[in-house]
Amino acid sequence: MSATEITLEKNITKSRESLDAWVREVVQWHFDPDTGCPFWLDYAARLDWDPRKEIQTYMDLDRFGFFEDEWLRGRDVRRWVPKGYAGRPIYTFETGGSTGVPKSRISIEDFRIDYEAFSDTLPDEFFPRDADWLSLGPTGPRRLRLAVEHLAQYRGGICFMVDLDPRWVIKLIKMGQAKMAEQYKQHVIEQGLTQLRAHDNIKCLFTTPKLLEALCEKVSLKKLGITGVFCGGTEMTPQFHRFAVEELLEGAYFAATYGNTLMGLAVHKPRAAADNYAIIYYPPHPRAMIEVVDPENTEQVVDYGETGRVRLTTLTKEFFMPRFLERDEAEREPPCELYPWDGVRNVRPFSKLNTTVVEGVY
């Protein structure tokens, strides 16, 4: 074993230990009658075992079974607010609201903490401190809208925004109104262009893959002075990654991310030739973990390199979500030097789900 491999092994062991310690702390918090939220306290009351005693490691979280996203739809959102945060201003962020009642996740500081951690992964050379940002992505009741603004502010910048309602886009596509959806996309792009042309200090951009393509059809990012692009919100393929790097970005840094309201933000491993543009994400350990499980036996994690369904676990003091089966699939990626815990490669919609996932222009 080489010295590098030995170091990696040590770091993997350390990260497992710190994860287990964090699991104990978070479970203590959520199941303590003084600090936990009504949902988990009620849940614990129906168990014949005490999570605070019996959950000692990350693996022990299997005892909760699978988190059901239906629990997050409607009813009293306050049942998710930990008593330990009583009196604090509460945000609610939504996901999955194209039809019916959206899922809601409460938040206090999590989005700030996550994006400050993400900020540490951005190179200052391409995302200069004090530079301004343009956020060209979903707004409304979404975490991204506030999170990107906080990211800009945390790095000393100001974030310019445009409105974008992805539910309307999805509705247009479902109604067969592709032309109208395209017009809406152009409407968003035109507003973004106006901001970019009006504010010379905008050097950083958050946007989605499709909006990045649409923007680059109109202008050269380089000419507009954009040096860093933080991209996420929808599926990204290796081919898109390559296309963006080779043909759209003109040297700007491409920070791909995978995330959602429920988990947080997974960062992209820096591009390496050996990865051939594969998009490899690592979760924000220990605050969230991503695993790849056998779709037929979702308690079983697949081997490295194998394909399976994505399973998320969120472990913050604001939100506890053990073993949530996401509507995505991916390959399991081994730990690396920078991130000594499991990652995922090439996340895409889970092919075994029968429902078609409509992704819009955003």
Among 247, 299, 303, 337, binds another protein (CB under 8 A): 247
Taking alpha carbons only, the member of 10, 5, 23 closest to residue 289 is 23
| 243 counts as binding another protein under rule CB under 8 A | yes
| 144 counts as binding another protein under rule CB under 8 A | no
| 216 counts as binding another protein under rule CB under 8 A | yes
| 178 counts as binding another protein under rule CB under 8 A | yes
| 190 counts as binding another protein under rule CB under 8 A | no
| 73 counts as binding another protein under rule CB under 8 A | no
| 217 counts as binding another protein under rule CB under 8 A | yes
The DSSP secondary-structure symbol of 93 reads E
Q: Where are the beta strands (DSSP E) in 53-200?
A: 91-95, 103-107, 132-136, 159-161
Taking alpha carbons only, the member of 265, 270, 220 closest to residue 241 is 270
Whose Cβ is closer to another protein: residue 46's or residue 179's? 179
Whose Cβ is closer to another protein: residue 241's or residue 287's? 241
Q: Which amino acid is present at 102?
A: P
Dist CA 301 CA 295 (whole Å): 9
| 329 counts as binding another protein under rule CB under 8 A | no
Q: Show contacts of 327-333: CB within 8 Å, 24+ apart.
A: 327/353, 327/357, 329/292, 329/295, 330/292, 331/292, 331/305, 331/306, 331/307, 332/291, 332/292, 332/301, 332/302, 332/303, 332/304, 332/305, 332/306, 332/308, 333/280, 333/282, 333/304
| 239 counts as binding another protein under rule CB under 8 A | yes
| 50 counts as binding another protein under rule CB under 8 A | no
Dist CA 166 CA 136 (whole Å): 12
Whose Cβ is closer to another protein: residue 241's or residue 311's? 241
In a 13 Å sphere around the CA of 326, the CA atoms on its Cβ side amount to 27
What's the min distance (Å) between Cβ of 278 and another protein?
8
> For another protein, which stretch binds (CB under 8 A), given 4-12, 99-107, 175-183, 188-196?
175-183
Among 99, 276, 300, 351, binds another protein (CB under 8 A): 276
| 303 counts as binding another protein under rule CB under 8 A | no
What's the min distance (Å) between Cβ of 236 and another protein?
10
The residue count for binding another protein (CB under 8 A) is 19
Whole-angstrom CA distances from 64 to 46, 187, 296, 326 are 12, 46, 19, 17
Whose Cβ is closer to another protein: residue 51's or residue 360's? 360
> For another protein, which stretch binds (CB under 8 A), given 35-43, 188-196, 235-243, 266-274?
235-243
What's the min distance (Å) between Cβ of 210 and another protein?
8
Q: Which residues bind another protein (CB under 8 A)?
A: 176, 178, 182, 209-210, 213, 216-217, 237-243, 247-248, 276-277
